Amino acid sequence: MSTIINPTMDTRMAEIAEKVHNGQRLSLEDGVYLYQSDDILTIGQLANEVNLRKNGKKVYFIENMSLYFTNVCEAHCAFCNFRKDQGEEGSYTLSGEEMVRYVEQNITPGVREFHIVGGHNNHVPFQYYVDSLIALNKHFPDITIKAYTAAEIDFFTRISGLSIEEVLKTLQEAGLKSLTGGGAEILSDEYRKKMRVDKANVDRYLEVHRTAHKLGMRTHTTMLYGSIESHEDRVNHMIQIRELQDETNGFMVFIPLSMQPKSRNASIMRRNSAFEDLKTIAISRLMLDNIDHIKAYFINIGTQLTQMALTFGASDAHGTIVKERISHAAGAVTPEGLTRKELIWLIKGAGRIPVERDTFYNEIEVYE
């Protein structure tokens, strides 16, 4: 597929377009140039070309449910409004049985995945996190458990004294099937220091996923953008993920997460622009040539921009979620969840084919 998108495009953009048409890998300099360009239509159409080459017109979604066992956290990341200190008003730590009751009261028909993340609560032992999965797996054996970020896995090694591999194997025995993508933020130790990301550093984040992939797990990965990082930081982040994917081929999807302000009433100037969100999704698709899917996360960018993103390189519209808490604690003004019908409508409205999937992108039903 080769399309002349903009006959007046500059020489550098034309060179990048030629690379894309020929399936050549983009460089750090290419990615930074794309961020600096205001030719968003060319960038979007190039990303659309790559996505159509990989996925055709199919856009994937899943019936899932987000669960949060605890919001108590030892870390004090500058961007987080979800965390609480032990004993602080609003703090909680649910037992496995308490979470089972919550699920029974709130689950919707068709849910096939639990998406589990939470705080780094050092007031409970590692066994607490193991038992949490055991309880869910016992009561809901047919629902896939996708749980914990790489940063949480690193935290578990510290409170247990176990290695990354030992922690992962223990959790696998408890029912863990895949890791969530969170905790990546921006893969720059300088950024992590400035933003007080006092959890897994860059090497540990990547090592957790590397180890999970070696154990046969396929995982997700993210990038939280829109604070102090530079365009070069973002592209470097993508390249580090791309290099690990070259090594392991274990990532299923890359999820750009648009930074949310700490107040729902924050002005428009405190939020990423729609222009920046669409450009980041498109550049992610162009840079990450070895990852099948880029996710448009409606929780952070809204449903209508998610719909637009499906022609800017995104091939995943996430899932039903039921009730999201982390981004909404940080000021998101989007829906806390969507129904299957709404997701199908959203995808069809972009002229795409909705495909209900499982955690591993196996197709459950295609809605032609």
Which residue ranges make up the annotated binding site? 73, 77, 80
At 90, the amino acid letter reads G
Q: Which two tokens stand for residue 269?
A: 């100037």
Distance CA 165, CA 174 (A): 14
Cα pseudo-dihedral 4, 37, 285, 257, rounded to 10: -150
Given a contact cutoff of 8 angstroms between Cβ atoms, the answer to whether 282 and 313 are in contact is: yes
**Residue numbering of the annotated binding site for [4Fe-4S] cluster:** 73, 77, 80
CA angle 29, 34, 40 (to 5 degrees): 175
Residue with the two structure tokens 């790489």: 150
Q: How many CB atoms lie within 10 A of CB 31?
A: 22
Which amino acid, 181? G
Parallel/antiparallel/unpaired status of strands 353-357 and 363-366: antiparallel
Q: Where are the alpha helices (DSSP H) in the chain?
A: 11-21, 28-36, 40-55, 96-106, 126-139, 150-160, 164-174, 189-194, 202-214, 231-248, 274-287, 298-301, 303-309, 326-329, 340-349
What does the alpha-carbon distance between residue 183 and residue 152 come to, in Å, rounded to a whole number?
8
Tokens of 51: 């996505």
Nearest to 85 by CA among 72, 76, 75: 72
